[in-house]
Structure 1
Amino acid sequence: MEIDHGKCKQGIAERSTPGCYIKTRHVLAVMMFLGVFNSYFMRINLNVAIVAMVSQSVHNSITNVTECPDRGASYILNNTVSNAVFKWDRAQQGIALGAYYYGYVLTGLVGGYLTNRFGVKMVMGISMLLSSIISILSPTFAHWGFTVFVIARVLLGFLQGVTLPAVQSAWGKWAPPLERSRLVAISFSGMSFGVFFTSLVTGGIAENYGWEAIFYISGTVTLLWTIAWFGTVHSWPQSHPRISIHEKDYIIKSIGLNLNREKAPQIPWTAILKSVPAWAITVAHFCGLWGACTFMAMLPTFMATILRFSLTASGAWTAVPYVLQFLLVLVAGHISDELRMRGVLSTIAVRKLNTSLALAIPATLVALVGYVDCNVHAAVAMFSVAVAFNSLTVSGCESNTIDLAPQFGGVVYGIANTIANISGFLAPQMAGMLLQHDDSMHGWRMVFWLTAAVYLFGEIFYLIFASGEEQHWGSGKQSSLIEAKYTAMQPTKGSGHSL
């Protein structure tokens, strides 16, 4: 019988299952990765599609902006947008791009609650099923009118707001403590991959099959995933019909080590809302996400209308930064833990260093990119580095929640993330307003300077008010109880291993 000695340190070992057996928690991780990927596929598909949806004749500034040489943009005008019949001005485009987040912020706090009550299978499955239908019908909604299309995008965000909290909540029931970081990371990596993939392929889809195909494909892929989800996933290991007895016992007992409490601690809502360090996290997260949403929503348009790439090339260049982002966030997380474990830097020093790099470097680069004119390589390099470093908020302010409140880190993050996602509709709307009457490089400089100012405000606020100390309201009274039960379950010498 094989024993994982890493798990034996916890006092609980998992027996290997005979034969060819794929662990159900690993299947769940893959399905969640694909689910998060599909969520982002439907979330940001409009960022590229809108370039092909809107009739360029309504933007005299677009057709007249010839500061940079044509790199395929004329193809958009002459071919791709032959079915682009919507006369939405820049302000309306900003509203359409941000509409998703109006709905998203409404359900971010309830995703975990719904998952605890109804299970991740139903919550995430129904959310994605309805979202796929909305995506498939999006071209029809657009033809019905701008208001109908915006309402559909708001509803899509409303349905998708539960996705990430549902994933986090589900792993509280499925992930053994020593595997939790790995399984959550696999699931959430669908975000970066989703942005990369969507940016890479949607331009080519629009050019070859029309912008409607973007919504049809993303909705159909999600619908197929939903069928697989309902067929393979179960909300709790106790009720899974195909899980091995060894894996089920291991999951239940290892998680019971952390969940076997006499009484769940009461959430200190008032103390959280009055906490200055918690607000420092919220402000920094908001400012970092402002820049991220500006890049995701507006970068394809900048590539197509200013640098004058074709939609395919525009999408490909837009995808480059997210490959770097995916790699950097993994490396930064490892380095941050090493610095703390070796005593090189304190926890708050690591958090502030990461947050400073995540906000200051993008602020500098995004301010400068408006002055490189038509130097494509310089522009793409600056955007790539800015987007990549923006991801360091994960190892910075976003990880700071658990430092302040080990018992309530998820609650603090839920509040901060809900407020931060307001930038999802504010950022593209502000960009649309600034570009409404000046769609030239000068107008885009205004957008970039605004983004840089928001970045710097977040950095300064966080450096002044952030803390790495556990707050007086952040520690539940159950810690000693858990530790006592943990110690009691440690195996004695010669007692063998337990399940």
Structure 2
Amino acid sequence: MSTGADIKTTVGDISNDGNLNMAQQQSSRRGFCSFPHGIALILQLCNFSIYTQQMNLSIAIPAMVNNTAPPSQPNASTEVPSTESQHYWNETLKGFKAVAPTYDWSPEIQGIILSSLNYGSFLAPIPVGYIAGIFGAKYVVGAGLFISSVLTLFIPLAADVGVTLLIVLRVVQGIAQVMVLTGQFSIWVKWAPPLERTQLTSIAASGAVLGSFIILLVGGLLCQTIGWPYVFYIFGGIGCACCLLCFPLIYDDPVNHPFISAGEKTYIVCSLAQQSGILSSLPSVVGSICIVLGGLLADFLLSRKILRLITIRKLFTAIGVLFPSVILVFLPWVRSSHSVTITFLVLCSAGSSLCQAGSLINFLDIAPRYSSFLRGLMQVFAHTAGAISPTTVGFFISQDSEFGWRNVFLLSAAINILGLAFYLIFGSADLQDWAKEQTFTHLSANREMR
């Protein structure tokens, strides 16, 4: 973590050398035309593609499942009944609309298919970081995007072949997506100067917000007009197109880039005096392990009837919010010790991971019928906060470089505690009336027809 004193020292060291000072001034004048900003825009497109591919099945599965067909084989398909169109453009769309089969998947099978994307992803960050260090982050990110995009194109075919193949495809796709989301941070280790790191990473991360917004906006419309398979064809194709930008234009470090100017190369290399990729990834690794352990503990408490469901949800959320908030408050006072700082960050990540067994999964309790939509909505708000926070951090640091981080952590703790208080007061684990399934039987249908 960079502090105000660290930033001042870095700037002072660069200013001592006339050539480096000139390179820094040239880089600042170029602004958004610099190579790091170009890489940030490419990674923005990569994140856009990954998040559309993460959410497309959640949007398309209502159109893929036949809720009115009689019970049959788990993967039996039927043709979508055509409706009489009253407008000419609807008739035109029928010419483009492919035969879109529907499947008699039970709610349990649907849940397994949707969650299979995460089956291998919680263990993937560890080997991905290791592979990125051997082969280079460029190839990890590019290969992950290519694999995920190609598998997205094959989802309609896999669904038609069988549920097992679809689940396997989704597991592999989840691992490939982790390659993109995790491997890109290794790129910033050698490309993002400390004074521009927040700006560059926020540009790249904004692709996640844009992708979530676009797929929620147009996904349902595509299913209704040209058929649900095109949701996968279109966004899988966009991902493949992004690979054409990723492989030739992104390099692991500025030293080997053939198109960067000598001045900008010197500025970037000299501003990055230390590499801290392993230490930066340590909190994420510990957090991933604690998510699994927290889920096992929550299920144990519920299965043994030690605690009620709502008590488990609120208890895990309270621990996952209060414990990291206390650590954040004390974090600015331990900045003189790197080992204590890393320990605090690891404990913060481990504590916050307990929220996964609390409020972050509570939507399955109150509205399982709309779980896919609510999960997508949660992702939109989460990534919106991720896009806003770097700007807020930059504002506080620019106002007071010495105590800026302290104010950032205090504000973060205050927001966390306010959100926790709201959840503890209004949180519920009961199935809501507006989310209950409406039963529709053949007897009631005959009565309506009469």
Q: Same fold (TM over 0.5)?
A: yes
For residue 11 of structure 1, the aligned residue among 9, 14, 19 is: 14
- CA offsets per residue over residues 7-61 of structure 1, 9 Å max, x none? 855634324279999311111000111111111111111111111111112599x
2:191 to 140, 153, 174: 174
Aligned to 1:353, what secondary structure does the other structure show? helix
My pick for the range that moved more, 96-105 or 338-347, is 338-347
Question: 1:187 offset after TM fit, Å?
Answer: 1.4
Aligned partners of 1:121, 1:269: CA distance in 2, in Å?
21
1:26 aligns with 2:24: no
Q: What residue number does 2:350 align with?
A: 282
TM-aligned CA distance change 1:325 to 1:130, over 3 Å: closer
Residue number among 270, 273, 280 corresponding to 1:253 in the alignment: 270
1:110 aligns to what SS in structure 2?
Answer: helix
Classify 1:82/1:318 alpha carbon distance in 2 versus 1 (closer, same or farther; 3 Å): farther
* Pair 1:192-2:209 in alignment: yes
Give the Cα–Cα distance (whole angstroms) in 2 for the partners of residues 269 and 201 of structure 1.
33
Among 392, 416, 419, the residue aligned to 1:355: 416
**TM-score, normalised relative to structure 1:** 0.57
1:224, distance to aligned residue in structure 2 (A)? 0.4
* 1:178 Cα deviation after fit: 1.0
Query: Residue 47 of structure 2 aligns to which amino acid in structure 1?
Result: V
1:126 is matched with which residue?
143
1:22-421 correspondence runs (5 A) = 22-57=33-68, 83-255=100-272, 257-259=273-275, 278=346, 281-288=349-356, 291-292=359-360, 302=370, 325-331=382-388, 338=396, 350-362=411-423, 367=428
**Counterpart of 1:210 in 2: which secondary structure?**
coil
Distance apart, 1:345 and its partner CA: 7.0
Match of 1:388 in 2: none
The residue identity in structure 2 corresponding to 1:53 is M
Shift of 1:358: 4.5
Question: Counterpart amino acid of 2:174?
Answer: G
Structure 2 runs not aligned, ≥5 long = 1-7, 16-20, 72-93, 291-342, 440-450
Q: Deviations over 1:399-440 (max 9, x none)?
A: xxxxxxxxxxxxxxxxxxxxxxxxxxxxxxxxxxxx9xx735
TM-superposed deviation, 1:85: 2.1
Checking the alignment, whether the CA contact within 8 Å between 2:151 and 2:173 is kept in structure 1 is yes
Query: Would you say the 8 A contact 2:366–2:428 is kept in 1?
Result: no
Q: Which amino acid aligns with 2:177?
A: Q
Once the two structures are superposed, residues 64-93 of structure 1 have per-residue CA deviations (whole angstroms, 9 ceiling, x without a partner) of xxxxxxxxxxxxxxx999944211111111
Q: CA deviation at 1:123?
A: 0.8
Q: Which has the higher contact order (CA 8 A, sep 6+)?
A: 1
CA distance in 1, matches of 2:365, 2:41: 27
Unpaired runs of at least 5, structure 1: 61-78, 305-314, 375-434, 442-499
Q: Counterparts in 2 of 1:420-431, with a 5 A limit? A: none
Work out the CA distance in 2 between the residues paired with 1:149 and 1:270.
28
Aligned residues: 340
User: Aligned to 1:367, what secondary structure does the other structure show?
Assistant: coil
**1:199, CA displacement in angstroms?**
1.3
Q: Please give the secondary structure, in 1, of the residue aligned with 2:176.
A: helix
| CA 1:250–1:34: 2 relative to 1, 3 Å | same
User: RMSD of aligned C-alpha atoms?
Assistant: 4.6
- Verify the 8 A CA contact 1:132 1:223 in the aligned structure 2: yes
Normalized against structure 2, the TM-score is what? 0.63
Deviations 1:253-281 (A, max 9, x none): 111x2249xxx99x899999997984563
